[in-house]
């Protein structure tokens, strides 16, 4: 079971067995939306791989100058920053950070393995962004956030191309259809004004038809509504945390929000993720960017679940102590003027490895809506579930 997987993470790493992480680079590449839905032909894949190799040569040279030890230190710092943004206010221990890193890397390896299998079924030698999105298709809110990420990436790319050419209205995302050279049911639909292009995936009903119903300005689909709910909840939590911050604290908060595995870091991230061992072909920049986006989502989800476990444990300890709470935690209070129902951030104990293990176990549990289809599989080892 998934609990057995988490049990293998009990022992902290030695200097030779720590997580081998590496960031990637956002370099100039083809449109991720339009190229995602095109046919995977052998000749086009070779051309994409050659263009990706040329565009990432400069970044790879910079990564070659970085030692493994320096990269490991930066990787640990990135994980701590992402955990801080996700709600972990205290400084986590080295064992906790290492455990989250190992779980995240296991998830990335599983995603690449499944993506390679899907690409082989399509007769393709390299994976595409559709192979990655297909694995999270049931999480509509996450898919919607990923679509928004890709749409804004194309907008920035078009604006940059327009500036390089010295004029022209290349910032209109509706030009995607014109660049596609015809009607493509899987390509993004032409948008008017400053509206972002809409990405239609091959397994969606809209992709079955060559003509699409024009959208109204006040129309929102279910995916966008779910995305807005999750986004508003996170924004409300971030607003509550930053409300009483000083200028220096908010500068640090903003710096942590910009932490990324894939910004101007290419070679080391590919090595850490398993490119070259799990995936033989060299990935294009869009695949690496999406993988970095999903990696951040995994860190955020795992941290939030671990915080829920810790909150439940603190509440149980408080009830067991007759409402007095954890005495060790109470002694750590440094801030004055806090309300009666919330401890100051400095007084909170950090997330422990046991909280991460329990949170990971909960995330690996099979949802109730799928249990009726698993009759006779009780006690059997289940495959790894993607967070």
Q: Which one has a higher pLDDT value, 207 or 253?
A: 253
Q: What is the pLDDT of residue 25?
A: 35
Read off the pTM: 0.67
Q: What is the pLDDT of residue 355?
A: 94
Segment 28-38 shows an average pLDDT of 43
Report residue 294's pLDDT band, with 50, 70 and 90 as the boundaries: very high
- 348-374 residue pLDDT tens: 688 999 999 999 999 988 777 666 666
Looking at every residue in the chain, the average pLDDT score rounds to 71
Q: Which one has a higher pLDDT value, 65 or 28?
A: 65
Q: What is the pLDDT of residue 305?
A: 93
- 104-135 residue pLDDT tens: 999 999 999 999 999 999 898 889 989 999 99
Tokens of 372: 């009726």
> How far apart (Å, rounded) are the C-alpha atoms in residues 86 and 237?
9
Closest CA to 126 of 291, 290, 278: 278
> How far apart (Å, rounded) are the C-alpha atoms in residues 305 and 308?
5
Q: Which one has a higher pLDDT value, 164 or 270?
A: 270
Q: What is the pLDDT of residue 216?
A: 66
- 165-193 residue pLDDT tens: 665 444 443 443 433 333 343 444 444 44
> How far apart (Å, rounded) are the C-alpha atoms in residues 80 and 90?
10
What SS3 string covers the chain?
A: CHHHHHHCCCCCCCCCCCCCCCCCCCCCCCCHHHHHCCCCCHHHHHHHHHHHHHHCHHHHHHHHCCCHHHHHHHHHHHHHHHHHHCCCCCCCCHHHHHHHHHHHHHHHHHHHHHHHHHHHHCCCCCCCHHHHHHHHCCCHHHHHHHHHHHHHHHHHHHHHHHHHHCCCCCCCCCHHHHHHCCCCCCCCECCCCCCCCECCCCCCHHHHCCCCCCCCCCCCCHHHHHHHHHHHHHHHHHHHHHCCCCHHHHHHHHHHHCCCCCCCCCHHHHHHHCECCCECCCCCHHHHHHHHHHHHHHHHHHHHHHHHHHHHHHHHHHHHCCCCCCHHHHCCCCCCCCCCCCCCHHHCCCCCHHHHHHHHHHHCCCCHHHHCCCCCCCCCCCCCCCC
Identify the residue whose tokens are 């966008």: 224
Report residue 26's pLDDT band, with 50, 70 and 90 as the boundaries: very low
- Which of 128-142, 188-202, 310-324 has the weakest average pLDDT? 188-202
Q: Which one has a higher pLDDT value, 154 or 105?
A: 105
Tokens of 176: 């995607």
CB atoms within 10 A of CB 43: 7
Tokens of 322: 């007759």
Tokens of 135: 């694995």
The dihedrals phi and psi of 200, each to the nearest 5 degrees, come to: -115, 120
Q: Which one has a higher pLDDT value, 209 or 362?
A: 362
Q: What is the pLDDT of residue 196?
A: 56
Between CA 147 and CA 49, with CA 106 as vertex, the angle to 5 degrees is 55
Q: CA-based Rg of the chain, rounded to a whole angstrom?
A: 23
């Amino acid at each position: 079971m998934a609990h057995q997987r988490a049990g293998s993470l009990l022992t902290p790493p030695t200097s030779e067995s720590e997580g081998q992480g590496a960031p990637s680079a956002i370099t100039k590449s083809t449109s991720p939306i339009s190229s995602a839905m095109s046919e995977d032909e052998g000749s086009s894949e070779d051309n994409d791989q050659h263009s990706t190799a040329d565009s990432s040569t400069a970044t790879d040279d910079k990564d070659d100058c970085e030692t493994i030890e320096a990269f490991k230190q930066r990787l640990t710092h990135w994980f701590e920053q992402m955990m801080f943004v996700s709600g972990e206010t205290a400084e986590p221990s080295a064992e906790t950070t290492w455990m989250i890193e190992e779980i995240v890397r296991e998830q990335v390896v599983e995603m690449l393995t499944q993506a390679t299998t899907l690409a082989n079924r399509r007769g393709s030698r390299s994976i595409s962004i559709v192979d990655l999105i297909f694995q999270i298709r049931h999480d509509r809110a996450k898919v919607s956030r990923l679509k928004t990420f890709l749409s804004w990436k194309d907008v920035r790319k078009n604006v940059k191309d327009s500036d390089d050419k010295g004029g022209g209205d290349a910032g209109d995302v509706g030009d995607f259809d014109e660049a596609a050279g015809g009607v493509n049911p899987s390509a993004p639909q032409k948008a008017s004004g400053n509206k972002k292009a809409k990405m239609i995936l091959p397994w969606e009903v809209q992709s079955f038809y060559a003509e699409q119903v024009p959208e109204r300005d006040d129309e929102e689909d279910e995916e966008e509504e779910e995305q807005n709910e999750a986004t508003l909840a996170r924004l409300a939590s971030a607003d509550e945390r930053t409300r009483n911050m000083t200028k220096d604290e908010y500068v640090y908060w903003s710096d942590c929000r910009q932490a990324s595995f894939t910004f101007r870091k290419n070679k080391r991230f590919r090595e850490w993720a398993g490119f070259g061992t799990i995936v033989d072909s060299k990935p294009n920049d869009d695949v690496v960017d999406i993988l970095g986006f999903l990696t951040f989502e995994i860190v955020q989800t795992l941290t939030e679940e671990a915080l829920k476990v810790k909150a439940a444990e603190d509440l149980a300890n408080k009830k067991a102590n007759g409402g007095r709470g954890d005495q060790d935690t109470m002694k750590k209070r440094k801030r004055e003027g806090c309300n009666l129902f919330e401890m100051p951030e400095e007084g909170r104990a950090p997330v422990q490895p046991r909280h991460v293990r329990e949170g990971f176990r909960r995330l690996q549990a099979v949802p109730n809506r799928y249990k009726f289809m698993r009759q006779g599989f009780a006690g059997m080892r289940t495959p790894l579930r993607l967070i």
